[in-house]
Copies of this chain bind each other. A is one copy, B any other.
Amino acid sequence: MSEDAESEVSGYHKLLQELPRTGPGTKAGEMLRRYWHPVCLSADLKDIPLAVRILSEDLVAFRNRGGRPGLLGIRCPHRLASLEYGQCTDDGLMCSYHGWRFDGLGRCIDQPLEPRDSALKNKIRHLWYPVEEWGEVIWAYMGPDKEAPPPLPKIDVLARADGEVKIVVGDIRNYSYLNWMENFADMGHATVLHGLLIRDIPDALKPFNDDSIKNWTPLPLEFVETDYGMKTVSVLDTGDPEIKFVNTWSLAMPVHWRFSGIRSGFPPDFTDERQEGGGMIRIIDDTHFELFRYNLFRKGNFPGTFLFGLPADLKGTAARKPHDKRKYSGWEGIPALEDLVLQESQGEIPDRRLEHLASSDRGVIMMRRIWHEAMEAVANGKDPKGVDRKPREMLEVDTYHGHIKASEIKIGPENMPPSTNGRGLIRDSRGNLVFA
């Protein structure tokens, strides 16, 4: 290896060490702070405060009795008692220790043990972050421009009215969120990992399957950078040479993933199911995150979710062997569990210096480059990819999924090709957004 190559490698390793960092003052943490992040579900904020760790910061979310949500530093600035044990009041959150009360902008609005004419409270400004409540989710913006943040991008599924959205939270992982994101940018793993056990198609699912596509292993994959992040596209032959089957998986910076269909193109075959799915991540800290998974159920959809979510007992469909003493035994057979086991097994923050990347890692390499460029953009005082200062009705994320004429296929960074026949988020022949 030449010296140049060595220094190239060591620069890459430096990047890989910086990328999983989430705390304030870290290069990647500063990048992450230019986006809105999910905090909790709207339904989670009732009449008591909720301790919530986001981007390595310990915060407390609450809803005042007027119904307005807020997000503050968890420790009362008086004598550092936790506001997790505070009291929700008409206009803010009161520390239970000495009664200091704060509004959602961090202003101290009462100090009951101080003299009535004391001006001390006017000198206190507690840590606060702007929040928005939209799509049954509480969102926060933790950037330095928090007084004038960019508008909240409204991810398409949550903005849709043509079906019922169900959001499931509470799946907390003990490793870097990048293990998850890289797994999603690397659809090639599906043909190996999710093909370990050949599963029978359940009867309830058969009507949604399309048996015409057989060439799923290994998946032919294209990786395309987009304005919101990147997407992976797979174009597959059908029986008819004029008709192709196209499937699309997208990552929207920095914590969103999106796909269509209950199988999302995974083996053993494909489906014309119109259900859309995806999710987003609450980044807790460098080595923990929580998944917010959602599905849009429209009329005629299969009522289950992606093959079919993490089983409560963390057990796959493989037989459990008495001599299997591993943390996860009998784990093969459920894709969501297979992903968990392999992602976790990579380590809390994998030591990427030990990797040997191959051509099938093009998606991972693209994702790291895009995340890196976003990090550099912020370090240079610019907005990173996907931040838009103009209000938008919806953040459009490609999830085309369905059959298309071979002559019309056009894979590139723009949104999906015209079609009245596709599935997922598509444009019609005039370029307008439609949902097939």
For A364, the closest partner residue in chain B by CB is B79
Evaluate contact between B324 and A48: CB separation under 8 angstroms.
yes
* A346 cross-chain contacts in B, Cβ below 8 A: 75, 79-82
Name the CB-closest residue of B to A113: B360
Interface residue tally for chain A (C-beta within 8 Å): 61
Which of the candidate stretches A21-29, A96-104, A137-145, A231-239 sits at the interface with the other chain? Answer: A96-104
Chain B proximity of A177: nearest CB distance (Å)? 16
Contact digits for A95-127, partner B, Cβ 8 Å, 1 yes 0 no: 011110000000000011111001010011000
| Contact string against B for A residues 356-371, beta-carbon threshold 8 Å, 1 for contact and 0 otherwise | 1111110010000000
Whether a CB of chain B sits under 8 angstroms from the CB of A192 is yes
What 0/1 pattern do residues 249 to 275 of A give for CB contact below 8 A with B? 000000000000000000000000000
A48 touches B321 (CB 8 A): yes
* Known contacts A120-B358, A358-B111: A326-B97 contact under CB 8 Å: no
Q: Are A84 and B345 in contact (CB under 8 A)?
A: yes
Q: Give A314-354 interface residues, CB cut-off 8 Å to B.
A: 321, 323-324, 326, 328, 331-332, 338, 341-342, 345-347, 350-352, 354
Q: CA–CA, A361 to B96, complex, Å?
A: 16
Q: How far is the CB of A285 from chain B (nearest CB, A)?
A: 17
Is the beta-carbon distance between B85 and A358 smaller than 8 angstroms?
no
**Do B360 and A114 touch across chains, with their CB atoms under 8 A apart?**
yes
Q: Which of A118, A120, A354 has the most CB of B within 10 A?
A: A354
Nearest CB of chain B from residue A380's CB, rounded to whole Å: 30
> Are A113 and B48 neighbours in the complex by a CB distance under 8 Å?
no
> By CB atoms of chain B within 10 A, which of A345, A347, A361 has the most?
A345
Docked complex: A67-91 residues within 8 A CB-CB of B: 75, 77-82, 84-85, 87
17 contacts across the A-B interface (CB closer than 8 A): A46-B321, A47-B321, A48-B326, A75-B354, A77-B356, A79-B361, A80-B347, A80-B355, A81-B342, A81-B346, A85-B342, A96-B332, A97-B189, A98-B188, A98-B189, A113-B192, A113-B360
The 6 closest A-B CB pairs, nearest first, are A82-B345, A113-B360, A99-B192, A80-B350, A97-B342, A80-B346
